Amino acid sequence: MALRNNNTKQLSRADEGKVRKMFDKYANDPQDAQPGKIGPNGMARLLGELKLAENDRQVLILAQRMNAETMCEFSWEEWLSGMAEMGAVSEATLRSRLASLDQGLRDPVGFELVYKFAFGYGKRPGSRNLDLDYAIPFWRILFKNEYSLLPLWEEFMEKVNKKAVTKDLWNQMFEFATTVKTDFSDYDEVGNFIPHIRLSLKLPGPRLSMTSSTGQDRD
């Protein structure tokens, strides 16, 4: 389920017409076979117009603002709601608005919305957890080069944890990355900040080590 924005903004009739024309430009792509929607090929053309790579964080911001239920797909209702919420009526205004929203960790409130949205957006239908081969690329997209401990976290997840990521662990990673100093000087291990694992320092530098069961749910 997508994380909702509680959007109440509306466009004028003239602006809604512009937004509809823009939607129709990318929807109903013959290669997508998804009537009434922007599908993967239409999305690729849209990203080309916006000058965005598919692994750009702004693509996740766009999906979150649209409240997209399915990856690489927008319905007309999602598109209209998202464009109204962002106040965008063209490729140029959409590009500008996405750039202004892409503040990463400098905007913890906005970043948290996108971060928590990404978990549900990336899950396989019917799954409670996010597959690790989606979670790690999503972390890289979300944090970019803004979190120096991300490579250590990835190493732990790939070599020690080796499981799909639960919603609790996904959210705890956000809290850890946004509240604990990268030198661990304010990390309260006694408080068991992340219940599934503990962070420990091992010379010659910090490493993530397992000291208790991960306790993760299996699909």
Reported as a single tens digit per residue, the pLDDT across 84-110 is: 999 999 999 999 999 999 999 899 999
Decide: 59 and 79 in contact? Cβ < 8 Å.
no
| 12 pLDDT more than 50 | yes
**Three-class DSSP category at 130:** strand
Task: Of 8-17, 129-138, 147-156, 188-197, give the lowest mean pLDDT range.
Answer: 188-197
**Tokens 């661990």, residue?**
184
Check residue 4 and give its pLDDT. Answer: 44
Q: In sequence order, what are the residues at sequence separation of 6 or more whose Cβ sits closer than 8 angstroms to the Cβ of residue 160?
A: 197, 208, 209, 210
Enter the pTM of the model.
0.83
Token pair of 67 as six digits: 């409240």
Mean pLDDT throughout 108-113? 94
Q: Report the alpha-carbon distance of residue 79 to residue 85 in Å, rounded.
A: 10
Check residue 218 and give its pLDDT. Answer: 44
Among candidate residues 15, 161, 163, 175, the one with its CA nearest the CA of residue 85:
15
- Cis? peptide before 204, omega within 30° of 0: yes
Reported as a single tens digit per residue, the pLDDT across 176-215 is: 888 877 776 665 554 444 444 444 334 233 444 544 344 4
| 75 pLDDT more than 50 | yes
DSSP state for residue 68 in the 8-state scheme: -
Reported as a single tens digit per residue, the pLDDT across 153-173 is: 888 888 877 899 999 999 988
Three-class SS of 2-34: CCCCCCCCCCCHHHHHHHHHHHHHHCCCCCCCC
Decide: 186 and 193 in contact? Cβ < 8 Å.
no
Residue 199 sits at φ, ψ, to 5 deg, of -95, 130
